[in-house]
Amino acid sequence: MIYTLAPQSLKSTLISLDSRQIYDAPNTAFFAVRGIHHDGHQYIENLYKSGIKEFIVEKVAWTGILSEKAKKWDDAEFYVVENSIQTLQNLAALHRSKFDYKLVAITGSNGKTICKEWLATLLNGTYHLVKSPKSFNSQIGVPLSVWAMKSNHNLGIFEAGISQPDEMEKLEAILKPSHGILTHFGEAHGANFSQEEHKLQEKLKLFKNSKTLIYRSSHWDKIIHTYIKSINPEIVLIEWSTEDPTKNIFVHFIRSAHETQIKLKKASQSEPFIDIKTELTDDASLENICHCLIMAHVLGMDNLALNLTIRRVKPISMRLEIKEGLRDITIIDDSYNNDIDGLRLALPLLMKYETKKKILILSDFLEIGLPEENLYDEINAMILNQKIDLIIGIGSQISRNKNKITGIEVYQSTEDFLKSGRLNSLYNAAILLKGARKYNFEKLVYALENKSHCTQLEINLDALQHNLSYYKNKIGLETKLMIMIKAFAYGAGAVEIGQILQQQGVDYLTVAYTDEGVELRKNGIYTPIMVMNPQIEEFTKLIEYSLEPEIYSFELLKALDEYCLLNEQNIKIHIKLDTGMKRLGFESHEIETLANYLAEMPQLWVVSIMSHLVASENLEHDLFTKNQIAEFKRMSTILTHKLSYKPLLHIANSAAIENYPEAKFDMVRLGISLYGITENKKEIKQIENVLTLKTFISQIKQVDKNETVGYGRKGKVNKKSTIATLAIGYADGYPRSLGMGNGQIEINGELCPTIGAICMDMTMVDISHLKHVATGDMALAFGGKIQLSKIANEAKTIPYEIMTNISSRVKRVYIKN
């Protein structure tokens, strides 16, 4: 059945916009969405065959073969609409209108997700609540979150984020929040707003029908008060401050090294109405928990109740982390909460580890609000067809429902599971951990983790995907994208980065050597791979693993041709032209001969013709670069003319994408810019940092005036100083040249200069100016306030060298919101 009007309701209870994340097809409605580099309409036929019978499709795509086929699918319903996302938002708003319970909406620049999670932690048990999964706060994330609202809930907690004007009004129409929190307001997501005041006003539109808004006093007070009262005169504003006792609520922090006492006092009262202790100590966490405490109080919790529930609030990572483990185990640590939507979102990450056993470890699902029998039936339906090799359940609730989950092993507690020794029997596996906080799954992570060294390189997969999308949009749909993942993906981990890039649909991956390509193939990566430096003795491997060599000399070309003739093989190749690099490649005077050779070698299929720009990042060499581009055009035209087909042409690297758009040709090669590193001032505002090198303070010492620090007594102290020793040295890849004050390390948001020489395994920094610092505190070598390009300049090298020198003993941790 085909309808030309948007639906007012759905028969299905589940919604999906991603064809890769369908768990209960007969009960799922699919919204086909078109983007610059994807089109959900392409997957409708396969989704119909998989069992989906309810589709929302867009009129502009509903033409030709698809619409004709749909007429024959009598058991399916198709709603043909102008805009699938707008239809989703309208349906979510209608769904929201069915429930009259309170709803807290949270927006701001930073802290939305942590506030949502901590507020839910404080209120669990008092309310049956529903909340946004993960960081679902976008134009799509909010309606998907709201769809989870049910009649058995009595409170909603949702976050909302915007990146451009006019978005918040759409989210407000869906959420209709009764209560609001405005978290820290800063520079994040400001690119599309004329000024910061404009962005703030757009965020405040979320509360135009709310009864209450909580926010921290700042220099934005007047703008907040004036604007919100102009759109919602009846709203009650609760403004809190740590500096001004005349505000609605005055907050006093009493800090020690490992805990903070928080006292909240109303302006009209002499005694605090909340007086609690928490193990949170950093400024950002204390600001976030104050928002939550005040909102919890507004929602009916008193000091006694909050003193009990605050114990559950821990300094937690709000991001999924992927880590290397012992016994060839990959740990997918998503254990900061356990809810149905969170599990649904995490399962695809487990599934992408095609060459490893797939293991799921679950705890009880607490405070979900569903009857147990329904809850575990739903969980079983979600995971039944996922080809999971082993499911382990931990907790009394999941244990008594073990018959509802096919093939599950159960244990009463995390301690029982650890004592059983079962964890030590697991190997060559990807393990997804989803556990409620009370089950302390961090103990499982610790038992599984490779703990040889605590310094780690954090790779932010969300930032990497953001950068990838930026460059895809930049080059346009007609231009293919090749990603360089040679040298262990510049130190970030070739297999892990390769899997993400494959999932995102890049056209080509490139490695330097054949063995790098073989490793990718053995780990389930089937995207085309170009090898830049193939060796003659590796031709068999190239063919066996479907790797495509770059051919840069007649010697290599003839040897490969002879090999293919002798072994009756065909192979795809890439021809490298030297237009000015003077490194590898066929030169101008060789091009006619090369063209004649290729025309007589049908077993060698030229997939692409390529060259390498020498100085595209430096506009001082603009003429040279343009001459290279012109020469590439000339040489490639001669080759193409001799062939009976047209290979892809590519010369543009990361810098050329921005500086020389005319050099796009058929494909561009993206390298270091994927990680948020560029010299282009315009571009740096649009892309995000991907890499953060983290270590920690091993020890703190008081050093008297005229004493020295480190080898050779090179670190001279001119006054009594506090010195921290960090667990990172030149053996980890931190440049030795950054010693003697030439480099800085970020600790607790402050920059601390190095002192003395950098040691093999340790670095000393002066922390005399810091307050509230302790052994074990995190320190950032780069990322945060210190850009990788900055330390490269200080070390008199380039970012590539810093990245590729990070030692293999430094753990790679992959994080994802």
In this prediction, residues 710-728 reach a mean pLDDT of 94
Question: Which of 82, 107, 135 marks a domain boundary?
Answer: 82
**For the segment 8-30, what is each residue's pLDDT rounded down to a tens digit?**
999 998 999 988 778 788 899 99
CATH of the domain at 618: 3.20.20.10
Closest CA to 728 of 804, 779, 784, 792: 779
Of 265, 294, 312, the residue that ends a domain is 312
Query: What CA–CA distance (Å, rounded) separates 791 from 564?
Result: 48
Give yes or no: 486 in active site: yes
In angstroms, rounded to a whole number, what is the distance separating the alpha carbons of residues 348 and 480? 26
Q: Which of 646, 711, 714, 716 is an active site residue?
A: 711
Q: Which of 500, 511, 510, 459 has its CA nearest to residue 480?
A: 510
> Could you tell me the pLDDT band of residue 190, with boundaries at 50, 70 and 90?
low
Task: Indicate yes or no: pTM above 0.75.
Answer: no
Instruction: Report residue 451's pLDDT band, with 50, 70 and 90 as the boundaries.
Output: low
Element (H, E) at 609: strand 604-610
The catalytic position among 247, 323, 358, 486 is 486
697 and 680 in one domain?
no
Q: Among positive and negative, which fits the CA dihedral 617, 618, 619, 624?
A: negative
Selection from 783, 675, 804 nearest residue 735 by Cα: 804
pLDDT digits (tens, 9 = 90+) for 47-92: 999 899 999 999 888 877 778 888 889 899 999 999 999 999 999 9
Q: What is the mean pLDDT of residues 79-107?
A: 96
pLDDT of residue 342: 78
Tell me: do 618 and 748 sit in the same domain. Answer: no
The mean pLDDT value for 193-206 works out to: 89
* Cα 96 to Cα 660: distance, rounded to the nearest angstrom: 49
Q: Indicate whether 806 and 735 sit together in one domain.
A: yes
CATH number of the domain within which 354 lies: 3.90.190.20
Residue 623 has pLDDT above 60, yes or no: yes
Tell me the CATH number at 773: 2.40.37.10
Q: Report pLDDT for 182.
A: 97
- CA neighbor of 600 nearest in space, from 636, 576, 564, 628: 564
Give the residue with greater pLDDT, 776 vs 721: 721
Joined together, the tokens standing for residue 226 give 């004036």
pLDDT digits 0-9 by tens, 263-322: 999 988 889 999 999 988 888 889 999 999 999 999 999 999 999 999 888 766 656 788
Say yes or no to pLDDT of 255 above 90: no
Q: Average pLDDT of 761-772?
A: 93
Residue 294: its pLDDT value, please?
Answer: 97
Query: Which residues constitute the domain of residue 709?
Result: 691-816
CA distance 347 to 458: 22
In terms of domains, do 410 and 281 share one?
A: no
How confident is the model at residue 353, as a pLDDT? 84
172 shares a domain with 58: no
Mean pLDDT of 592-617: 95
Number of domains making up the chain: 5
- Catalytic-residue membership of 558: no
pLDDT value of position 452:
59
Q: Give the integer Cα–Cα distance in Å for 137 and 108.
A: 11
Distance, in Å, from the CA atom of 791 to the CA atom of 782, rounded to the nearest integer, reads 8
CATH number, position 78 = 3.40.1390.10
* pLDDT beyond 70 at 755: yes
Shared-domain flag, residues 110 and 156? yes
Name the residue with higher pLDDT: 524 or 801.
Answer: 801
Tokens describing residue 124? 């669990």
Per-residue confidence (pLDDT) for residue 308, from 0 to 100: 92
Domain CATH for 231: 3.40.1190.10
Mean pLDDT of 525-552: 95
396 and 476 housed in the same domain: no
Shared domain check, 600 and 478: yes
Task: Please report, rounded to a whole number, the percentage of residues in the chain having pLDDT higher than 70.
Answer: 97
Indicate if the pLDDT at residue 189 is higher than 60. Answer: no
348 and 204 assigned to the same domain:
no
Please answer whether residues 506 and 528 qualify as being in contact, where contact means their C-beta atoms are separated by less than 8 angstroms.
Answer: no
pLDDT for 419 beyond 70: yes
Could you say which of 82, 111, 145 is where a domain stops? Answer: 82
* Sheet architecture: strand order including 102-107: 129-131, 155-159, 102-107, 179-182, 212-216, 236-241, 249-255, 260-266, 274-278
